[in-house]
Amino acid sequence: MQVISLQKIVIASSNQGKLIEIQSLLQNTGIEVLAQSAFNVSEAEEPHYTFIENALAKARHASHLTGLPALSDDSGICVDALHGLPGVLSARYACDQNNHQKSDSANNAKLLQAMLNETNRRAHYYCVMVLVKYPQDPQPLIAEGVWQGEILTEVRGNFGFGYDPIFLDVASGKTGAELDLEAKNRISHRGKALQQLFKKLKIYET
């Protein structure tokens, strides 16, 4: 049985929105959570077609450069009418020809434009989390979470980040940007993935 003892981990992301949510989810766990920026670690390349491959690449990159266990998150929004787009390109959806990063608002605007004449508004957020104990870890812990919803026709709300202002959680009738952090963490793709990861950790530790 694999034994895992975590006292300190590095989060393999420089996305402030993700960092805030992950740090909130990990509070009161006794684990010291550090951002990769604290070690001047640059963002890893994400050349792959799947969330899991990109998440693994990011986790191994951060662990290699810090010497610490690393937790990575690769996530995005997948829209039924667009055959799963933006998907792994969610953060870079509105990039220009030179791949210059655009803002969340630009990504939202492009998605709203793409959905302008669509009646099928179904979409889901997807998140995969990967934890490696060291860079060459042959048994990374992997967990996933899905948050089902719909794409609105206009932005609503002031919280969250990414596509939250146009993503409607049908059950609550609120967008991701209308939910406070605690409420969002209970139902979000990221919250579900981390809960699943912790369950796996407890199994491995027994």
3-state secondary structure 46-63: CCCCCHHHHHHHHHHHHH
Which H/E stretch holds residue 202?
Answer: helix 189-205
Closest to 129 in 3D by CA, of 184, 203, 200, 29: 200
How far is Cα 146 from Cα 190, in angstroms, rounded to an integer?
Answer: 8
Is 8:31 a contact under the CB 8 Å cutoff? yes
Q: And the tokens for 42?
A: 């640059």
Backbone angles phi, psi at 155, to 5 degrees: -75, 145
Is 104:132 a contact under the CB 8 Å cutoff? no
How far is Cα 77 from Cα 157, in angstroms, rounded to an integer?
Answer: 18
- Active site (annotated) includes residue 74: yes
Which residue has tokens 């048994």?
139
Q: What letter represents residue 19's amino acid?
A: L
Backbone angles phi, psi at 53, to 5 degrees: -65, -40
Q: Which of 73, 74, 104, 164 is catalytic?
A: 74
Instruction: Provide the annotated active-site residues.
Output: 74
